[in-house]
């Protein structure tokens, strides 16, 4: 079912004690890169962190359609695995709303992504840092990384608006 490259990379990462403790690799431009987005919300940190769970994201991003493999029924818990319509497989590695931390491993045919989300409470609400650590597996993945870099500001603005509206609508 999985390609040998995916299996070797994914199992190596999952076998690590904690993805959050892995050192970030250097950004080499075409094959590996780190893209950081910064967001700010007036909602409390726990509520803001919860908005980054897969079921919550489906509520603020209607095109995000997680198809849960595990657990059944679908739940926002560490260890959850789901697919998205674009063919990617997602592992919700960490989901700790109290600590303000969410981490995904996202495997596609052309890239492997670790997405780490940190939410920190401050005097005016919650600051969120989203770090996309992207390793490309082929030229298509490299093109995707380049596109993410170019569109990072637009991605950030779109998420800021969508999540902000979701939090306001749901009382967060």
**DSSP codes, 108-128:** -SSEEEEEEEEEEEETTEEEE
Average pLDDT for 139-151: 93
| Domain-wise residue ranges, the chain | 31-169
d(CA 131, CA 114): 8
d(CA 149, CA 61): 21
pLDDT in tens, 90-112: 999 999 999 999 999 999 999 99
Q: How confident is the model at residue 115 (pLDDT cuts 50, 70, 90)?
A: very high
Residue 73 pLDDT > 50, yes or no? yes
If you classify domain 31-169 with CATH, what class do you get?
A: alpha beta
């Amino acid at each position: 079912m999985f390609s040998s490259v995916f299996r070797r990379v994914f199992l190596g990462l999952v076998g690590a004690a904690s993805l959050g403790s892995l050192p970030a690799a250097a950004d080499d431009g075409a094959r590996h890169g780190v893209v950081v987005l910064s967001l700010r919300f007036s909602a409390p940190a726990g509520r803001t962190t919860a908005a980054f769970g897969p079921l919550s994201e489906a509520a603020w991003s209607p095109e995000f359609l997680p198809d849960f493999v595990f657990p059944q029924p679908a739940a926002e818990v560490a260890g959850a695995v789901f697919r998205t319509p674009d063919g990617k497989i997602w592992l919700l590695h960490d989901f700790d709303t109290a600590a303000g931390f969410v981490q995904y491993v996202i495997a596609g045919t052309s890239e492997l992504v670790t997405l780490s989300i940190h939410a920190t409470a401050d005097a005016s609400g919650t600051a969120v840092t989203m770090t996309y650590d992207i390793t490309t597996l082929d030229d298509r993945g490299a093109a995707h990384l380049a596109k993410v870099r170019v569109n990072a500001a637009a991605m950030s603005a779109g998420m800021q608006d969508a999540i902000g509206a979701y939090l306001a609508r749901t009382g967060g």
